[in-house]
């Protein structure tokens, strides 16, 4: 994959790229409570503290992962952890605070 994949991008651009990429995952690493209070449609919630659980959920380490949190800090840490776990295509797209689309609530 190209090096541009690993550069930080805006969350709006990242969500658009997620929706256009077959088999990609939009990964929300906020807490379950934060997720319930408003999340992007189609996102998967795996909190940063539980990021190792991804191994049992997404076994293909070539999967394109668009990772976000509240502000971009936790998603940066999550991307670093995912790379250590062998996920080659993880991209930090920043924080949901900067997202301009609609949110779903549980």
The catalytic residue positions are 69
* Among 97, 101, 75, residue whose Cα is nearest residue 16: 101
Burial class (CB in 10 A: 0-12, 13-18, 19+), 71: middle
DSSP-based three-state secondary structure for 14: helix
């Amino acid at each position: 994959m190209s090096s541009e994949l690993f550069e930080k991008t805006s969350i709006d651009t990242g969500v658009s790229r997620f929706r256009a990429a077959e088999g990609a995952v939009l990964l929300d690493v906020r807490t379950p409570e934060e997720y319930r209070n408003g999340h992007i449609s189609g996102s998967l919630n795996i909190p940063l503290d539980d990021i190792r659980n991804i191994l049992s959920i997404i076994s293909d380490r070539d999967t394109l992962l668009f990772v976000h949190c509240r502000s971009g800090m936790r998603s940066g840490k999550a991307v670093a952890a995912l790379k250590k776990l062998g996920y080659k295509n993880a991209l930090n797209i920043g924080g949901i605070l900067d997202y301009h689309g609609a949110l779903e609530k549980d």
